[in-house]
Structure 1
Amino acid sequence: MMRLKTMTLADMHEFQREAVRIETEITIARSPEDVFDYVTTPALWHTWHPATLGVYDVEPRPLTTGETMREKIAVAWRRSEAVWTVLGRDRPGIWEIGTDTAAGSAHIVYRLSADGAGCRFHRTLDFRSKGWPWRALDASVTRWVLERQSARALRNLKAVMEQVIAAQPIEQL
């Protein structure tokens, strides 16, 4: 398996200071366990997240802390590849991943909780590009694109979870 480049404490503090945050949230008429198992299976990301062109080097199941996967990503006019590492997992409440590539760094947290008969899914993306001109665009153009892409991803996830999978258990996907 591939590993995330280790960030120093100073690198982490710099990232936290300079990262742009995108938060999205949606309620899905499925149990938190069902949603958690679906969203933590990177092999299924292409079914709901418009940025995912493909995921490689990964088993088709929910990933646990320390496991990695490689993703081909499309964000507006940029194409890149990232190796994501699962940094934390507490089923069905939280899943955290991070990456540090030549193009930039990102940290994503999924938070899930019961909400009536369904699940409240909250996704936080912190990102920071590296190099000119991308870094200069993070707080404006890139944020604008990612806010829309992230909202679309959650709408897609809701549609997939409520319509397509409702007829079959997650294990059968």
Structure 2
Amino acid sequence: MKILKHKNTGQYRLLMRRDKTFRVCCNHLITSAMELRPNCGSDRAFVWQTVADFADEVAKAESLGIRFPSAEVAQLFKDVFLEGRTFALELKSKYSNKTVSPAERSTQAPQPLSVTESALTDPMKNLKINNNSLTKKVSESGDQASEGADPVSDPPQKKNSEGS
């Protein structure tokens, strides 16, 4: 069992893998709603519930338990778990007490984005298939190198047999 602390956000995450298969069996954040309880009155075992465990890559509610080899290790786990829960409570209160008035919302409205036409908007524009190989067109200024053996040229146009 690992308790990981995110470097930027400071949130705590529980991560555990199986012994032999190394398959993830516990992967979730420590939230303010979690309560760590002793299991069967033991000072070495704890249980808790989570709303969103991502061990199977899909969030689902889980009841989890853990037992430690000694009471000292169990106490260390409990201390760090409660530290993570306290951080989550502080984070929740920090953002739940902040209310935004309708006047503030109107001033904080995001500005519309403007998109300009460029080669980045359509990356396939500069690619062509020539002789079963994918190459990149050389720009008109000639400053862009080709990724294929030769620069790609337009295929020869078929002449119209109608006599135009």
TM-score (norm 1): 0.24
TM-score (norm 2): 0.25
Structure whose residues are more often helix by fraction: 1
Structure whose residues are more often strand by fraction: 1
